A and B are shown apart, each in its own frame.
Chain A
C-alpha cells in the first residue's frame, strides 16, 4: 500500500516537474494579476493601480 502510494506520488512529482519545465513554469514565479479594464482604457501608466508606500530597504 505504502509502496503504491509512493510510486504514484513519485511519478506525479516527476510528471509535474517535466510539464513545468516544458511550459517554462517557475515555482518562484511571483504573483500575477489582471489590470482592471478601466485602468487599461485610461492608460495604465498614470493609474494608481500599482504599489504604494515603502516597498523595500534594508
Chain B
C-alpha cells in the first residue's frame, strides 16, 4: 500500500497514512481508529486516551537497529488481563522492515514478524504450558514459553500496521531464550502470528535522546494524591507504573488506574513493619533506588511458617529491583529473562554458572505496604523455587491464575500465568546500612542460602604459597653446590669392657666449608642386634661441638611362614652448617653384643639434598588453611541444613569476597 492522505470518516479531520505498511491510523482529533481497506476508509471506533506510562519513547523518535535507521510511527497500548498495561511501538525502517518495540516494566523488546516454517506445528493456546519449549522456530537458540495471557487493545496513537479494533482481545504467549532472545505468539489469527527478536536497551537502538526534558520532569517525580477512603495524603513515588498502593493513613488497599485511585478493601493494621522505611533512597551499585513498597511473604515447610520481607525499589532510569530481607540476611534482586536459565532436575544454569536447588515451596503474600507495579494483594500465591550458587541465588516464581473468557462465560476457566526468574546477590548488613543510610539492623548468626563463604581467599593464597615454596626449593636445589664427601672411614671398635661400657673414636682433622648443611651416615652389618653411636663434630679451633646420634638396628626373622624385617643396617643424621674451619669427628659407641668388636662405616657429606625444611615449611603454611577447610565444611553443613534438598556435599560456590 502507498502513502495516503484522506479525511477521517468520523470527524472529517485530515488523516495521513505515512507508511505504506500502516493499516490503521488514529485520528489525532477524535481518536477514532481509521482503517484503510481496498476501497475506502473504515471507522473502527474510538480508542481510549493513552495512559501515561512515563515511557522515554515517543512517536517520531528515530533510531538505528543493525545499522538500519527507523522511526517510531505508532503506539498501541495493551491491557493485561491481570491488570496493568504495556506499550507496543511500531518502528518503520528505511529498508521497508517493520519492527515491534514492546516496552514493559522499563524493559524493551524488539521483534519482527517471521513466517512459521512449513511443517512446524505450533501448539494451540490451550496446549501451552509455562516453561514448555517451542521447537522448530526460525531462531538460532531454543525458545520456551515464559508467559501466557490475554491482551486487550486499550488505546493507540499514530499509525498501526494491523487492524487494531478498540476493545478487542487476543491471546498471546511470550517466548524467551538465551542471549536475550524474545518472541511472541499472537493467537489473534490461526495459525498464530510469530514475532521474534530480543531484549534490547535504548542504547542498542541508537536512541540517546529520549523524552523531552519537560516530560521527564513531569513524570519521573512523585505524585501527591489523596486517599479516596480517608482523604489522607498519599504519595505515589512511581505514579506511571503503580497498579496497587496501600494508604498509610487508613490501611486501605487502593487500585491505581491512570493516576486515579479506587478503594478496593480495608486491610487490617499491618503487623509487618519495614525495617527500612518506605521512601528511603538507597545508593546501590546500579544507582539511586527508592523503596516504594514492602511486603511480607511466607512459606510453610513441614508445618512451620517462615516469613521474610521484600522491598520494591524503583528508579525510572533503572526500573524495578528488590531488596529481600530474610532471617536478618539481605539480597539485592533483579529480574532475568526466563529463557536465559537452563533447567535440569536438581540444578539450573545461568550464564555458565550452575545453581543447586535449595528450596521449592508455595510462597504467599501476607501483607503489603506502599506501591506495587502489579495488582498485588495478601493471599497471592506463587510456586517459588530457589537455586543457589553463593553469593547468587536464582529464584523461579511460577504464577498461574484461572480466568474465564469474557466473550463466553460458559467456557471453562483457562489457566494463564507467567514464569519469572530473578537473580539475588547476597549483600551484608553493613552494605545495606551504608547504602540506605540506616543503622542498627539485626545481624544473623545463621548461614543464608547464598551467603558466600568469606574465607575462600585462603585457598588461593595457600596454593600460591605452596607453589612459591616449591619453586624456591627447586631454585635452592639448583643453586646449592654439589654434594661433597668430607670424611669417610670404616672403624672397628674393640669389644666393650662391660654391658654399660663405651668405646671412643676420634677422627683425623678435616676441613668444612661454611653454609653447607651436613649429613652423617653410619652403616654397620648388624643382624638382629643394634649399634649406637653418639657423635660429636668438634671445631678444633673454636671448641664448638655439634652432637648427633646414629642408631643402627636391624632385625629379621620368619613368623608363621612369613619373613619379616625391621630397621636398617644404616642410619643418618643431618646437621646445620658449621662455621668454616678444621673439625674432628668424635664417635662414642655402644652395642648389644658388647663382647664382640663392632664395625661401623661412617661418612660425612656436606651440601646434601634434604627436603625436611621444605616439608616443614609446607606443613606450617597448611595449618591455617586446614583449619579453614574444617570451618568451611561446617559452614556448608549449616547452610544446607536449612534446605529441603540438603545436598550441600560439594563446595563449588567459587566466588568470594572478603
Contact = CB atoms under 8 A, between A and B. Distances in A.
Given A6-B461, A17-B469, A57-B530, A25 B545 contact: no
B576 to A, nearest CB: 4
A22 B547 CA distance: 22
B575 to A, nearest CB: 5
Contacts of B504: 50
B548 A30 contact: yes
B610 A10 contact: no
Contacts of B502: 51, 55
Contact of B543 (A18, A40, A54, A58): A40
A24 B469 contact: no
Nearest to A51: B534
Contact of A35 (B506, B533, B538): B538
Contacts of A42: none
B517 interface: yes
B577 interface: yes
Interface string A1-36: 011001101100110111011111111111111111
Contacts of A6: 458, 461, 624
Interface residues of B, number: 58
A14 B617 CA distance: 7
Contacts of B577: 23-25
B285 to A, nearest CB: 23
A32 B546 contact: yes
Contact of B624 (A9, A14, A32, A55): A9
Given A10-B461, A26-B575, A21 B476 contact: yes
Contacts of A40: 543
A24 B543 contact: no
Given A10-B461, A13-B620, A56-B549, A50 B586 contact: yes
B472 A21 contact: yes
Interface in B525-552: 530, 532-534, 536, 538, 543-549, 551
A29 B519 CA distance: 10
B59 interface: no
Contacts of B575: 26, 29-30
B516 A24 contact: yes
A17 B469 CA distance: 8
Chain B binding surface, main DSSP class: mixed
Contacts of B184: none
A32 B46 CA distance: 107
Contact of B621 (A10, A22, A26, A36): A10
Contacts of B620: 13
A22 B414 CA distance: 82
Contacts of A39: 543
A30 B547 contact: yes
Nearest to B620: A13
Nearest to B480: A21
B573 interface: yes
A32 B538 CA distance: 10
A40 B549 CA distance: 23
A24 B517 contact: yes
Given A9-B624, A32-B545, A55-B532, A14 B472 contact: yes
B3 interface: no
Given A2-B455, A13-B620, A54-B500, A26 B614 contact: no
B590 A3 contact: no
A21 B473 contact: yes
A58 B616 CA distance: 28
A8 to B, nearest CB: 11
B614 to A, nearest CB: 7
A28 B574 contact: yes
B306 interface: no
A16 B575 CA distance: 17
Contact of A14 (B465, B517, B555, B586): B465
Contact of B530 (A25, A26, A27, A56): A56
Interface string B617-628: 100110010000
Contact of A55 (B457, B472, B534, B574): B534
B546 A26 contact: no
Nearest to B589: A55
A22 B517 contact: no
Nearest to B555: A58
Across the A-B interface, give the 4 residue pairs with the lowest CB-CB distance, nearest first.
Answer: A56-B532, A24-B577, A35-B543, A29-B576
Given A6-B458, A17-B617, A32-B576, 12 more contacts: A6-B624, A13-B465, A18-B472, A24-B607, A25-B613, A27-B612, A33-B544, A55-B502, A56-B532, A56-B549, A58-B530, A58-B553
Interface of B: 455, 457-458, 461, 465, 468-469, 472-473, 476, 480, 500, 502, 504, 506, 514-518, 530, 532-534, 536, 538, 543-549, 551, 553, 555, 567, 573-577, 586, 588, 590-592, 607, 610, 612-614, 616-617, 620-621, 624, 658
